[in-house]
């Protein structure tokens, strides 16, 4: 009856407009009591587009998701990476939306947006103030129905370059970046939809042409292969009306059927390997299992958690705690067509991988003998239930889950069934799947070995994928034609925004204990959880007066995550997991922070464990020895990572080697080696004090309820703690290029910047400088990113920012760029900075900045974490309650002249550090011809040569030096 009523009302609404709707109301789901469910209404348009609407009026926000049932599994041999490539092309404009306007319009409206591609689907999504709903529909429908005539060869080439840069940054130039690709091509038969990664192969990207891309769109991007999911401060009638208007006229595409493939079968253990520039070798053992939503998925997930999911797991005990490896885990990711049960081990360099494999098999035998315990099942169920609940904290989280369920699960209302699968799990289920999928079964056993050390592989390679007998299926590309929608309205007219939603800063409370602990909190009852963030000021900076102990803050925090005086590490983690809670302690430059997550119903028990961890750490000698060894090994490992090398060298150049800010929070090999257990105990006793601590509380709990529960914190004795005052950074006399060699690097890492004279403030120079930087390098459609990524295709992404705290801020422009365009990228960075400093902002850019920043408050306070971060800023910097209103006034009144004056003052392009990490043989000639003094450094930031100064003047803005391709 409810379904009929809903449809009847909708029909009447459409008749009143003179249009007979062919939209069908399919389903309405409501919540009964406190059951875990996402309420929604589902409709299907006449062209096959499924529309799902979730109403949530708690915040003036709307999230729009369009999911197409097409990912890399729909691709052909020789044309890998097409689905992901097409995701990029969908942001390059359509008939009524100009190039790069998609990002511009959404960002201008105060929203955020992106797209993603995986094996089985591609989705595009926006989170916006709710008055921008129609704009999102106009944008998404235009690229669904009017894309192909806007696709040009130039756009195609630029985005092909961008995808190559993405592959270089996230795969080729990243340690262990090719493990997934190597596993996939050896786990699945030749031609299997999962035998290549979503990113694809470079040779395939080079091979395809723009007509291939157009055919891909025509085959898979019809409305009948898509789900439009909308959630937030909307109504179902409003969404359906707009869906009919903008998506309804789009013609139905070719029929799409579910892909079916036989499961992967391995006739033997397949040993494969490859060389990488790494310190720790890797052993990765992968067994084929079941696809998502299979009855055995949940038991296999539980098995992975028991064997290698955390500190209580057997892998952790046998590999990490026994100091044989720096990392060990088990996982069970599943997708539409298959699952993969994977063990991943990073042994210390002293351990051979055949020994690691033998110990893994011994661990499995130990599991068989031990069996599954009641605690194992209780921990898995509690943790998984908490994860499900926390996933509902935002509109985007709920919408994404509905879209995924509708695309892949038996029903969009699969959440209750997913919870039921977890709750009915038994010990027998876990042992059954172990015996069925793991015990005695064959796997792909991958070794990633450090350069020149192939002798440590687990076993000689014994398998190569073969194309013999493969026959390509018919993908249905013949006879496709492009039919544009026929409209009864003018799509070229951009929809007007609705009335601005009322956005209010969350009503927060403050308090202070006699020992000096400051507290701030807000009630958030959307989900039954509580988040606490305890920040103890000092952290890494406390080593400023004794650099020989740098890294002690991180070691202290790590030890506080271990055993306490009353519980072993395993016991305390068992208690937390059975509660579905987490307590994590970490160190940063300015603080030691403690993060607590708990279901409201388990808050008392969780706080008791927080008291134990905070006040009674055991600081056991065995734990200290193990953690110190891991830290030293990880420091050595950082020397293989281009991003880390670049950041370390850049900071050392900015601050000088005798400044704590030039040393990573992890410390150096020399400083960590000097730290003793007594040093850690003394650091803890001296520096962890409520007098320099702030506590943020957000969640389903009132102030008068939570304060009595925090009574144990009032017993925390205050101590005098002084955070050292740091001297100003040495001024940079002139711009130089500092080059660090990373042989055979596919990309170069670039950092350009300097140390300012301004600390963080919410309403002063720092805030205004952030406004000025927004169009230079702070937004996706900033000058820097549009130039280097969208116009030149040099990078996957480029940006700039002022980053500061109570210490002076650092201005940094940065990117990872393809090696062949390194010198050209440096020139373009400097050109944009120079031009902005000289000419300032345009009228259009200023209007965009004011609109974008002025409307984004609607998105700032939605989740508990967002609220906690906002409150942390207030209490950390003692901000007035109305600082947001003050910022709004500053934004409203700032002028072009103001921005230009800030840019001229804050962008001294002639006095900046330029740090480049890349393949010296390839990039040095071009950099040498730019006209700047070039100094070569080793990976620790020490000069390796006297440097050379070009006789030519610095390259002019916009010019290219070195003769490298501009692409």
Q: Which CATH class is domain 270-394+405-456?
A: alpha beta
Look at residue 21 in the predicted model and tell me its pLDDT.
Answer: 57
Tell me what the mean pLDDT of segment 122-141 comes to.
96
Q: Structure tokens of 331?
A: 């996982």
Task: Work out whether the CA dihedral 296, 439, 281, 675 comes out positive or negative.
Answer: positive
Query: pLDDT by residue (tens digit) across 250-277?
Result: 999 999 999 999 999 999 999 999 999 8
Same fold, 509-642+655-715 and 736-862+880-937: yes
| DSSP character string of 683-698 | HHHHH--GGGEEEEEE
Query: pLDDT by residue (tens digit) across 630-644?
Result: 999 999 988 888 999
| Mutual angle of helices 133-145 and 236-246, in 10-degree steps | 30
Tell me what the mean pLDDT of segment 77-100 comes to.
92
Residue 898 to residue 841: CA distance in whole angstroms: 10
Mean pLDDT of the chain, nearest integer: 92
Tell me what the mean pLDDT of segment 909-935 comes to.
96
Look at residue 784 in the predicted model and tell me its pLDDT.
Answer: 98
Look at residue 499 in the predicted model and tell me its pLDDT.
Answer: 75
Beta sheet of 810-818, edge-to-edge order: 795-803, 810-818, 747-755, 913-918, 736-741, 934-937
Q: Which residue has the tokens 């993405």?
A: 166
Residue-range domain boundaries for the chain? 38-246, 270-394+405-456, 509-642+655-715, 736-862+880-937
Look at residue 855 in the predicted model and tell me its pLDDT.
Answer: 86
Task: Work out whether the CA dihedral 156, 162, 163, 164 comes out positive or negative.
Answer: positive
Tell me what the mean pLDDT of segment 530-552 comes to.
97
Residue 15 has pLDDT above 80, yes or no: no
Task: Using alpha carbons, select from 414, 434, 417 the residue that is nearest to residue 302.
Answer: 434
Residue 12 has pLDDT above 60, yes or no: no
Residue 127 has pLDDT above 90, yes or no: yes
Of 214-218, 219-223, 283-287, 638-642, minimum mean pLDDT range:
638-642
Query: pLDDT by residue (tens digit) across 518-540?
Result: 999 999 998 999 999 999 999 99
Look at residue 959 in the predicted model and tell me its pLDDT.
Answer: 34
Task: Using alpha carbons, select from 575, 4, 48, 85 the residue that is nearest to residue 312.
Answer: 575
In the structure, what pLDDT confidence band is assigned to residue 34 with cuts at 50, 70 and 90? confident
Query: pLDDT by residue (tens digit) across 441-466?
Result: 999 999 999 999 999 999 999 999 99
Tell me what the mean pLDDT of segment 317-324 comes to.
95
CATH superfamily for 38-246 is: Metalloenzyme, LuxS/M16 peptidase-like (3.30.830.10)
Residue 229 to residue 10: CA distance in whole angstroms: 18
CA distance to 226, 297, 336, 341, 621, per residue, from 291 (Å): 21, 7, 5, 11, 45
**What percent of the chain shows pLDDT beyond 70?**
95
Look at residue 712 in the predicted model and tell me its pLDDT.
Answer: 97
Query: pLDDT by residue (tens digit) across 823-837?
Result: 999 999 999 999 999
**What percent of the chain shows pLDDT beyond 90?**
84
Query: pLDDT by residue (tens digit) across 865-890?
Result: 889 999 999 999 999 999 999 999 99
Residue 568 has pLDDT above 80, yes or no: yes
> Topology of 736-862+880-937 in CATH?
Cytochrome Bc1 Complex; Chain A, domain 1 (3.30.830)
Look at residue 299 in the predicted model and tell me its pLDDT.
Answer: 98
Residue 284 has pLDDT above 60, yes or no: yes
Look at residue 20 in the predicted model and tell me its pLDDT.
Answer: 41
List the alpha helices (DSSP H) in 58-193: 82-89, 101-108, 133-145, 153-167, 179-187
Residue 186 to residue 199: CA distance in whole angstroms: 17
Task: Using alpha carbons, select from 892, 897, 950, 907 the residue that is nearest to residue 925.
Answer: 950
CATH superfamily for 509-642+655-715 is: Metalloenzyme, LuxS/M16 peptidase-like (3.30.830.10)
């Amino acid at each position: 009856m409810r379904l009929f009523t809903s449809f009847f009302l909708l029909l009447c609404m459409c008749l009143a407009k003179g249009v007979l709707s062919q939209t069908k109301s399919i389903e309405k789901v409501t919540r009964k009591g406190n059951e875990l469910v996402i309420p929604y209404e589902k409709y299907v348009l006449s062209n096959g587009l499924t529309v799902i609407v979730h109403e949530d009026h708690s915040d003036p926000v709307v999230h729009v998701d369009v999911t197409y049932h097409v990912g890399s599994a729909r691709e052909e041999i020789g044309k890998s990476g097409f689905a992901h490539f097409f995701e990029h092309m969908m942001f390059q404009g359509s008939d009524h939306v100009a190039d790069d306007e998609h990002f511009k319009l959404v960002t201008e409206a105060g929203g955020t947006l992106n797209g993603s591609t995986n094996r089985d689907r591609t989705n595009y999504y926006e989170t916006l103030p709710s008055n921008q709903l129609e704009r999102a529909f106009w944008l998404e429908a235009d690229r669904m129905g009017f894309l192909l005539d806007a696709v040009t060869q130039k756009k195609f080439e630029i985005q092909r370059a961008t995808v190559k840069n993405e592959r270089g940054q996230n795969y080729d130039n990243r340690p262990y970046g090719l493990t997934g690709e190597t596993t996939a091509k050896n786990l699945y038969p030749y031609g299997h939809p999962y035998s290549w990664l979503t990113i694809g192969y470079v040779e395939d990207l080079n091979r395809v042409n723009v007509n291939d891309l157009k055919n891909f769109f025509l085959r898979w991007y019809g409305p009948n292969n898509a789900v439009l999911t909308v959630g937030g401060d909307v109504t179902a009638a409003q969404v359906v009306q707009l869906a009919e208007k903008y998506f309804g006229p789009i013609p139905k595409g070719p029929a799409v059927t579910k892909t079916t493939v036989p499961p992967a079968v391995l006739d033997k253990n397949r040993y494969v390997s490859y060389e990488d520039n790494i310190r720790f070798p890797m052993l990765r053992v992968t067994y084929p299992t079941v696809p998502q939503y299979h009855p055995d998925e949940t038991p296999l997930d539980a098995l992975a958690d028991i064997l290698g999911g955390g500190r209580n797991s057997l892998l952790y005990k046998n590999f990490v705690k026994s100091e044989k490896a720096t990392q060990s885990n088990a996982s069970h990711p599943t997708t539409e067509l298959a699952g993969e049960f994977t063990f991943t081990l990073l042994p210390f360099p002293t351990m051979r991988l055949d020994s690691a494999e033998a110990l893994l098999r011994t661990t499995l035998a130990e599991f068989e003998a031990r069996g599954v315990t009641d605690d194992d099942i209780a921990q898995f169920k509690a943790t998984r239930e908490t994860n499900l609940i926390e996933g509902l904290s935002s509109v985007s989280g709920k919408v994404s889950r509905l879209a995924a369920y509708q695309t892949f699960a038996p029903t969009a209302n699969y959440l209750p069934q997913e919870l039921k699968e977890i709750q009915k799990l038994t010990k027998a289920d876990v042992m059954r799947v172990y015996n069925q999928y793991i015990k005695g079964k064959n796997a792909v056993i991958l070794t990633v070995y450090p350069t020149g050390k192939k002798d440590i592989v687990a076993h000689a390679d014994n398998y190569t994928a073969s194309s013999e007998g493969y026959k390509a299926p018919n993908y249905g590309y013949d006879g496709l034609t492009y039919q544009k929608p026929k409209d009864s309205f003018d799509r070229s007219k951009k929809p007007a925004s609705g009335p601005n939603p009322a956005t209010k800063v969350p009503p927060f409370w403050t308090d202070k204990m006699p020992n000096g602990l400051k507290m701030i909190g807000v009630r958030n009852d959307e989900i039954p959880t509580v988040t606490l963030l305890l920040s103890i000021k000092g952290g890494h900076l406390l080593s400023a007066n004794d650099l020989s102990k740098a890294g002690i803050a991180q070691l202290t925090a790590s030890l506080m995550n271990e055993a306490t005086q009353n519980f072993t590490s395993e016991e305390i983690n068992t208690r937390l997991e059975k509660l579905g809670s987490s307590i994590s302690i970490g160190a940063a430059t300015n603080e030691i922070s403690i993060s607590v997550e708990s279901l409201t119903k388990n808050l008392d028990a969780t706080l008791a464990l927080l008291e134990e961890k905070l006040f009674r750490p055991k600081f056991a000698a065995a734990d200290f020895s193990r953690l110190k060894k891991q830290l030293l090994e990880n420091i050595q490992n950082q020397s293989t990572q281009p991003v880390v090398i670049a950041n370390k060298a850049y900071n050392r150049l900015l601050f000088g080697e005798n400044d704590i800010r030039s040393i990573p929070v992890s410390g150096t090999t020399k400083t960590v080696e000097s730290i003793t257990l007594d040093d850690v105990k003394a650091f803890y006793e001296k520096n962890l004090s409520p007098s320099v601590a702030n506590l943020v509380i957000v969640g389903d709990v009132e102030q008068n309820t939570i304060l009595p529960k925090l009574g144990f914190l009032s017993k925390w004795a205050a101590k005098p703690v002084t955070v050292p005052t740091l001297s100003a950074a040495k001024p940079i006399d002139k711009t130089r290029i500092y080059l660090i060699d990373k042989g055979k690097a596919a990309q170069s890492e670039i950092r350009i910047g300097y140390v300012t004279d301004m600390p963080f403030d919410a309403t002063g120079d720092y805030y205004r400088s952030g406004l000025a930087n927004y169009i230079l390098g702070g937004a996706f459609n900033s000058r820097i990113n549009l130039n280097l990524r969208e116009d030149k295709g040099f990078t996957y992404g480029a940006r700039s920012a002022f980053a500061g705290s109570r210490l002076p801020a650092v201005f940094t422009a940065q990117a990872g760029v393809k090696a062949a365009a390194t010198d050209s990228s440096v020139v373009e960075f400097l050109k944009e900075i120079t031009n902005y400093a000289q000419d300032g902002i345009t009228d259009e850019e200023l209007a965009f900045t004011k609109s974008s920043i002025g409307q984004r408050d609607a998105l700032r306070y939605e989740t508990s974490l967002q609220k906690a971060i906002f409150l942390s800023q207030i209490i950390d910097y003692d901000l007035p309650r109305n600082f947001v209103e003050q910022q709004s006034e500053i934004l409203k009144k700032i002028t072009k002249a103001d921005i230009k004056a800030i840019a001229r003052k804050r962008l001294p392009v002639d006095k900046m550090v330029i740090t480049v990490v890349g393949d010296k043989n390839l990039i040095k000639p071009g950099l040498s011809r730019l006209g700047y003094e070039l100094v070569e450094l080793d990976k620790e930031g020490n000069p390796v040569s006297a440097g050379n100064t070009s006789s030519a003047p610095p390259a002019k803005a916009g010019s290219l030096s070195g003769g490298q391709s501009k692409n």
